[in-house]
Amino acid sequence: MSRHLQYPHTPVACVVVPSRLHFTDIPIAFIHKEINDWQKVETGGALVGYIEGDRIVITHASGPGPRGIRRPYSVRIDGAFTTEFAFRLQSASNGQLYYVGDWHVHLNGDLSLSGDDHNAVQRLLRVRACLVPYLVSVIFSRDMDTANAYRYDQFGKPSRMLVQFGGTPSWTEAVQFHP
Ligand SMILES: [Zn+2]
């Protein structure tokens, strides 16, 4: 598998700046299990979904990958793994779903972006990892009661987003939604 990002072309017109981040049930169930399986360390991964109007819908989440490193105060996400994860979903959905950012957990209850978190997003923006003009970084609490979501614009400036959970669409419905 090539390490270059050979994404199919997905034109995404962002007429409205998305202000809401909507997690559907499938990625939330995955993240819940991942956090429960790794209680003493930080974990995280990639987020895949689509933009519709003023919201970014998350349809899939991954873990940090086999070469990812979970530590008590940080997690290193395996970029080759998450690129492959996003590429597979993007191909399977004929370009309707795509990489939109990353998630991780903070164990201490402070859900603000750390300096390292901020720098990680700047690195992703520099390599243009994301197809859309936004890249999100979501921080969950350990009990998953709350999450902070930040939308970075192409200039690397973060803004808080409203986070919503639950319901459809599932990813197949998400594909049908954008035929
Ligand atoms: Zn962090």
The CATH number for 106's domain is: 3.40.140.10
In a domain, 149, yes or no: yes
Cα-to-centroid distance, 3 and ligand 1 (Å): 26
Is 109 part of a structural domain of the chain? yes
Q: Is residue 99 part of a domain?
A: yes
| SS3 state at 31 | helix
Domain presence at residue 9: no
| Structural domain span for residue 43 | 20-177
Residue 18 in 3-state DSSP? coil
Are residues 149 and 8 in contact, defined by beta-carbon separation less than 8 angstroms? no
Residue 116 neighbours by CB distance under 10 Å? 9
Tokens standing for residue 54: 């003023």
Ramachandran sector of residue 53 (left: φ over 0; alpha: ψ -120 to 50; beta: rest): left
d(CA 34, CA 151): 23
Question: Ligand 1 center to residue 164 CA distance, Å?
Answer: 20
Per-residue confidence (pLDDT) for residue 96, from 0 to 100? 87
Position 8 in a domain: no
Evaluate whether residue 4 is within a structural domain. no
pLDDT in tens, 54-105: 899 999 999 999 999 999 989 999 999 999 999 999 998 888 899 999 999 9
Ligand 1 centroid, distance to 113 Cα (angstroms): 6
- Judge whether 12 lies within some domain: no
Ligand 1: distance of its center to the CA of 11 in Å?
31
Greatest CA separation for the chain? 43
The rounded Å distance from CA 140 to ligand 1 centre is: 9
Is residue 14 scored above 80 in pLDDT?
Answer: no
Distance, CA 160 to ligand 1 centroid (Å)? 15
* Residue 168 Cα to ligand 1 middle (Å): 28
Calculate mean pLDDT across residues 24-44: 93
Count: domains in the chain: 1
Tell me the pLDDT band of 11, cut-offs 50, 70 and 90.
Answer: low
- Whether residue 131 is predicted with pLDDT greater than 70 in this model: the reply is no
